[in-house]
Structure 1
Amino acid sequence: MKRALIGILAGLGALVAVSLLVLVVVSLIVVRQDPLPERVILEVDLRKPLVETSPTDPLLLALEGRKTRVRDVVEGLHRAAADDRVEGLLVRGGDGVGGWAITEEVRNAVLHFRESGKPAWYHADSFGEVVPAQGAVYLASAFERVTIHPSADVGLAPLVLEMPFLRGALDSLGIDPRFQARHEYKDAVHLFTESGFTEESREALLAVLETLEGRLVEGLVEGRGLGAEAAREAVRGGPWSAAEGLEMGLVDELAYESGVRDALREATEDAEFASLALYRDRTRGTWERGSRVALVYANGAIQRGEGGGFDPLGGGASMGGDAVARHVREAAERPGVEAILLRVDSPGGSWIGSDQIRHEVERAREAGIPVVVSMGNAAASGGYVISLDADRIVAQPTTLTGSIGVAGGKLVVRDFMARWGIDWDQVSLGEEEPGGFATTTGDFTPEEWERFGEQMDRVYDDFVDHVARGRGMERDEAEAVSRGRVWTGADALELGLVDRMGGFPEALEEIRELLELDVDEPLRVTVFPAEPGLLEILLSEDFRGGIRAGDGSLLEGVVRGLRVLQGLGELGRDGMISPGAVRTAPVEVPGS
């Protein structure tokens, strides 16, 4: 019966796979039949969050599809600015594009497009809908004209940082959180050990909020012509109705999308709309010729090994120290590659995994291959470890970085287990009964706790030493900007932790300088390793292995979809239990 059931499921899986293959082939044929109009209004849909990379897991790809990538939008807008066929830009938005630093990156690309003198319009269905959307309002302030649905909202509100604290729940369950951190600002384990923000965490996070609000106010002043005080009142006094937003100067017109499209076509003398995907598919990009630059992505929480599993604290995918280190090493060794652009968006994770990647960055530089880091929303803790040895570091003003510190420990669950009638016993080769360090349930002995602290000190000292050497600081200077504190990119620039503000374009400018090229010299940016297409994924051994009969692979593939359970099961691995946990707390920034 079991074999028959597996056979039936395998047959269904094969049928689904074949159907997907047919759909892919048909879609490719259909897309290639669409010509690019001679005169174009570029249309970009930013109503869903952007991503750094597309998923390569076939199940995830089938469920989520391919989302628009940050670099596609940025490179597409730069390409369109110089293209005489493109006569205007219409962006549809209203919700956050995936974080404050990504918002900055797209906003800068819009400002670059506007320098061409072409009309750039933004239409919002609504700036949030019963939820704040400060990031979308900030992005819209870069456009020449902003319109909004007549009955919509302008979701401005005071900026808030929030995170959950589990200490009370753990106490009620009889679970004892036993963690150490280096030092007072390192709040990654406060999720378990505290019932609210500590004074030091509150100090650091308030500084982050001030930077975010400052950027938003500055955008409204420069883009919408508001006075500084009026802009700050607009941000803190919302939410507003569309009509109130019009009266305050936050938008230019209340209009339906169809009317906006008609008006823009009239303004461009009947140019035709073309999607970003169609435009990029039909034109040759500015990042597709010239000296070859390998673009290596380092996204997600850092684990040892190959990574790719679920990150229970951050809620997204992880990266593996082995995998990213190998990508950097192979890119540096690939004939024809002249420089590496390392795109980092990570809250940190395993110290070992982080140091593996950092070491390969160091080796690439020693081999004569320049390495430039471009930071996304976050490059903090372990995310900063992998960045600090690059030739240049480029970050956005709102990037969260630094968090130079370490935390680790475990949850002591013996009393919790006892409440449910679960007893634990031990067999040991030691002379005495082992303490909690060697067990999954017991507490540390005083000697073990002291020894554990020594391990924490060693990792922290290594981290600060790497910062001092990589950034050309004295040891005491590196210590002063460490102690686990999170900094914004703007603060990090003043402190010497990064070299420049910006995103992809600015990082490529740094690469041109390092390669001694002209400022307008084209570069061929190649993702390394190459991102597989959907057809390639469907034909891969990993996917085909999931529909074989008789070995349980199909059922295993279904189980892989339960990533939350997998992640919770690995909570003690690399991220929390080991003394080498270098990551930031899972703080959420609404409206970004």
Structure 2
Amino acid sequence: MWRFIVGLLATVGTLTLLGIGGCAAFLATGSFSTTKPLPQNVVLSLDLRDVPSETTGGGLLGGELFGGKRDILETVQLLWQAADDPRVVGMFVEIGDESAGLGRVQELRQAIAHFRGKGKFAIGFAESLGSGGTHFSDYYLASALEQIWLQPSGGFAVAGLAIETPFLKDGLDRLGVRVEGGKRWEYKSAPDSFTDTAYPPPARENLQQLLDSLYGQFVSDVARERHLEPAKVRQLIDSVPFDSEKAKQERLVDRIGYRNDALDEVTTRAGKNRTLAALAEYANDPARPRPRGDTVALVRISGAIMSGSPSRGPLDDDNVATSDDVVDALDQAASAKEVKAIVLRIDSPGGTYPAADAIADAVGRARSAGKPVIVSMGDVAASGGYMAAMRGDVIVAQPTTITASIGVFGIWPVAHGLLTSLGINVDRLSVGTNAGMYSVFQPPTTAQRAAISRQLDEIYADFTRQVGEARKLEGNRLDAAARGRVFSGIDAKKMGLIDELGGLQLALNIAKAKAGIDESRQIELRTYPPESDRWQKIVDRLLRLAGIDAQGPTVRAPREVRDTLARFGIVARPGNVRLPPLPPLWR
């Protein structure tokens, strides 16, 4: 009886969530949205106080089930379309996300520059560029606009860039915890936080070089946009904080006022009959120009790269990219006759070596099938993220993209000293010389440490061999680009690790050229896997929440759940249950 009640509650809960999901999907398709097109004289309203993320992700409650926000690529595509839409005369942008990744900021800066290049105005408003924080990203984005408004009480405190790393070794030593493992080589700084008490000299040198490159780009771009000398920009940044009036006097902003004052300026520029349209309204406008033409596939890698299927609940965030999913998407795109080229978008700090290697192999197979693969890098494409990219026909990165980190590490904690201090003895029975080699209770033997070191050497040798072959780097050039170093996109291009500096639009233009598509022709950018596959995964997660193992449209379920489903009129068969037909969006 108890098992029946559990099955009943689980099933009712699942069916309720599926019902909610169906309504949400119906809403997401725009079934209730107006079919009335926007009028002439539209000003696009963009709220960038929370810069769009690389993917909408966010799990069921965070975005997949209820529509969520548009990601950075969708946002940029809409801005490029608005630039060519004669009804759109300008944009009004609210600024305020000081933590946005610089790669995404540069995507938006390039889209704004294209928009302004069509003779359209771009006015921005910031409530504050002071009051704590560094305000590096939000001001970098604001500087691309034609006019910056700053609230009188907002102040200016754009303070530069800093990296802060807590080093835990002394604290772990006091606890009696030792970190075992190793890295290849000296510039691979990720494990240093656990194995050192401060930045080792090679890591300090490399990270400072990265900061200098990123900051140099900021200074150069801001100086150009604000018509200041680079030395003056550096001097002003070093003298913050100061008030809004001084920021205006120094030409860092254009006008002082409140949001309504900035909107009055928008009305003056656009005319009294202007319509302020949010990005979502413009996206749903039936009269918006929608590209139609040859198909280019878009495959995404966002988050840590892992093997197999991620171990997460149905409500968890999508913060990993599994090799199975990415390889399947690449294979689908490569085999689709209508797809002329593939753009592989990567925003990943790395992951497991076999998973990244599997994706690199899939990229190579797609190219062998005759489909050009153009890589577009986001905020970061490092370590395994770079490995996934290295076999692309052309690799495009933003100047601020953090990339390379060609190296490997493997570490784990051993609490033998802590346990001993607590009077806890862990005994071991084993078969095999290296059994228990990665134990958290007892340290590895000298022979086991040597075996681990050999494995790190082998992985590093294979990684660098593949990079050398893919990027045609040998000897000293390869060594100078590897050993765990990280680079900005600008420096990575100098090292021969990437080909071009730019964003998604440049990657698409290169894809067209590689596929033999005339540059004047429009293209349709189609996401792989298709949106319907994403919804099917959502359904599968909901079924797992109820203890049901989904296998396509047929699910194997416990007997109690099958019986309960039958009571709701759902067809039950011995050993499985077939769900009712799903809405078209889910097929």
TM-score of the superposed pair, with normalisation by structure 1:
0.85
Aligned partners of 2:419 and 2:425 also within 8 Å? yes
SS where residue 389 of structure 2 aligns? coil
1:277 corresponds in structure 2 to: 280
Counterparts of 1:166 and 1:139 in 2: how far apart (Å)? 35
Structural RMSD (CA):
2.9
2:93 counterpart letter in structure 1: V
* d(CA) in 2 for partners of 1:206, 1:39: 48
Compared CA separation, residues 255 and 466, structure 1 to 2 (3 A): same
SS at match of 1:372: strand
Partner letter of residue 546 of structure 1?
L
Partner of 2:202: helix, strand, or coil? helix
Cα deviation digits, residues 331-377 of structure 1 (max 9, x gap): 11122111110001111111101100000101111111100000001
Q: Report the more deviating stretch, 23-32 or 322-331.
A: 23-32
Task: Spell out, residue by residue over 1:31-89, the C-alpha distance to the aligned partner (whole angstroms, 9 max, x if none).
Answer: 33564223210111111131121227324437996123111221111111111110111
Give, in whole Å, the separation in 1 of the partners of 2:530 and 2:247. 45
**Mapped partners of 1:329, 1:48: distance in 2:** 34
- Cα deviation for residue 240 of structure 1 reads 3.0
Cα distance in 1 for partners of 2:93, 2:533 equals 26
Corresponding position: 1:294 with 2:293: no
1:397 maps to what in 2? 399
Report the alpha carbon displacement of residue 479 of structure 1 after superposing the two structures with TM: 1.8
For 1:283 and 1:341, locate their aligned partners in 2 and report how far apart those are by CA, in whole Å: 27
**Structure 1 pair 67–236 and aligned structure 2 pair: CA distance change class (3 A):** farther
Opposite residue 297 of structure 1, the aligned amino acid is: R
Q: What letter corresponds to residue 184 of structure 1 in structure 2?
A: E
Distance 1:6 1:257 in 2: 54
What is the rounded CA distance, in whole Å, between the counterparts of 2:70 and 2:560 in structure 1? 31
Higher relative contact order (CA 8 A, sep 6+): 1
Task: Verify: 1:345 aligned to 2:344, yes or no.
Answer: no
- Consecutive unaligned residues in structure 2, runs of 5 or more: 549-556, 562-587
Q: Which amino acid aligns with 1:531?
A: E
Residue type matched to 1:466 in 2? Q
Aligned to 1:46: 48
* Contact kept in structure 2, 1:138 and 1:216, CA below 8 Å: yes
Give the deviation of 1:475 after TM superposition.
3.7
Deviation at 1:544, TM superposition (A): 4.4
Offset of 1:30 from its aligned partner? 4.3
Looking at structure 2, the residues matched to 393 and 229 of structure 1 have their Cα atoms a distance apart, in angstroms, of: 33
CA distance in 2, matches of 1:436, 1:210: 44
> Is residue 124–residue 147 contact of structure 2 (8 Å, CA) maintained in 1?
yes
Q: CA deviation at 1:541?
A: 3.6
1:521 Cα deviation from its structure 2 partner: 2.2
How far, CA to CA, are the matches of 2:27 and 2:505 in structure 1?
Answer: 35
User: Would the aligned equivalents of 1:17 and 1:538 in 2 still touch at CA under 8 Å?
Assistant: no
Give yes or no for the alignment of 1:542 onto 2:541. yes
Residue 177 of structure 1 deviates from its aligned partner by 0.5
Q: Which amino acid aligns with 1:511?
A: A
1:588 is matched with none
Matches for 1:48-197 after TM superposition, within 5 Å: 48-55=50-57, 57-61=59-63, 66-96=68-98, 98-127=100-129, 129-197=131-199
What SS does the aligned partner of 2:341 have? strand
Partners of 1:393 and 1:316 lie apart in 2 by 25
Residues 106 and 17 of structure 1: CA distance in aligned 2, closer, same or farther (over 3 Å): same
CA drift of 1:242 comes to: 2.1
Q: Distance in 2 between matches of 1:448 and 1:466?
A: 27
- The 3 A distance-change label for structure 1 pair 181 and 257 is same
SS of equivalent residue, structure 1 residue 376: strand
1:463–1:16 distance in 2 versus 1, CA, 3 Å: closer
Q: Following the alignment from structure 1 to structure 2, what is the Cα–Cα distance between the partners of residues 187 and 287? A: 45
C-alpha distance after superposition, 1:366-401 (max 9, x if no partner): 111100000001111111101111000000111111
Given the superposition, is the C-alpha separation of residues 438 and 78 from structure 1 closer, same or farther in structure 2, using an over 3 Å criterion? Answer: closer
- Aligned residues of 1:340 and 1:370 also touching (Cα < 8 A): yes
Counterpart in the other structure of 2:568? none
CA distance in 2, matches of 1:78, 1:369: 25
AA partner of residue 463 (structure 1): F
**Aligned-partner residue type, residue 473 of structure 1:** L
Residues 438 and 543 (structure 1), Cα distance of their counterparts in 2 relative to 1, 3 Å cut: closer
Amino acid at match of 1:522: Q
CA–CA separation in structure 2 for the residues paired with 1:241 and 1:138: 18
| Contact 1:127–1:152 (Cα < 8 Å) also in 2 | yes
Question: How much does 1:153 deviate?
Answer: 2.9
Match status 1:522 vs 2:525: no
Question: In the alignment, is residue 215 of structure 1 matched against residue 214 of structure 2?
Answer: no
1:457 aligns with 2:460: no
Match of 1:466 in 2: 466
Give the drift of 1:309: 5.0
Alignment partners' CA distance in 2, 1:553 and 1:170: 49
Instruction: Note the 1:255-334 alignment, pairs <5 A.
Output: 255-269=257-271, 270-282=273-285, 288-307=291-310, 317-334=319-336
Structure 1 residue aligned with 2:250: 248
How many percent of aligned residue pairs carry the same amino acid? 32
Q: Are residues 402 and 64 of structure 1, via their aligned partners in 2, closer, same or farther at CA, if it must alter by over 3 Å?
A: farther
Using the size of structure 2 for normalisation, the TM-score is 0.86
Aligned-partner residue type, residue 148 of structure 1: L
> The residue matched to 1:240 in structure 2 has which SS?
coil
For structure 1, list consecutive stretches of 5 or more residues without a partner in the other structure: 555-592
- Alignment CA distance shift 1:14-1:404 (3 Å): same
SS at structure 2 position matched to 1:368:
coil
For 2:372 and 2:162, locate their aligned partners in 1 and report how far apart those are by CA, in whole Å: 39
Using the TM superposition, name which of 47-56 and 201-210 deviates more: 47-56
Between the aligned partners of 1:12 and 1:254, the Cα distance in structure 2 is 53
SS at 1:31 equivalent: coil
Deviation at residue 155 of structure 1 after TM alignment:
3.2
Is the contact made by 2:38 and 2:287 (CA closer than 8 Å) also made in structure 1? no
Q: Which amino acid aligns with 1:392?
A: V
Report the 3-state secondary structure (helix = DSSP H, G, I; strand = E; otherwise coil) of the residue aligned with 1:177.
Answer: strand
Whole-angstrom distance in 2 between the partners of 1:66 and 1:128: 30
Distance, in Å, in 2 between the alignment partners of 1:119 and 1:542 is: 45
- 1:196-216 CA distance string (max 9 Å, x none): 211111111111111121122
Structure with bigger gyration radius:
2
- What's the CA shift for 1:105? 1.0
- Find out whether 1:206 has 2:223 as its counterpart: no
Opposite residue 185 of structure 1, the aligned amino acid is Y
Contact 2:85/2:288 (<8 A) preserved: no
225, 228, 231: which one aligns with 2:230: 228
Partner of 1:384: 386
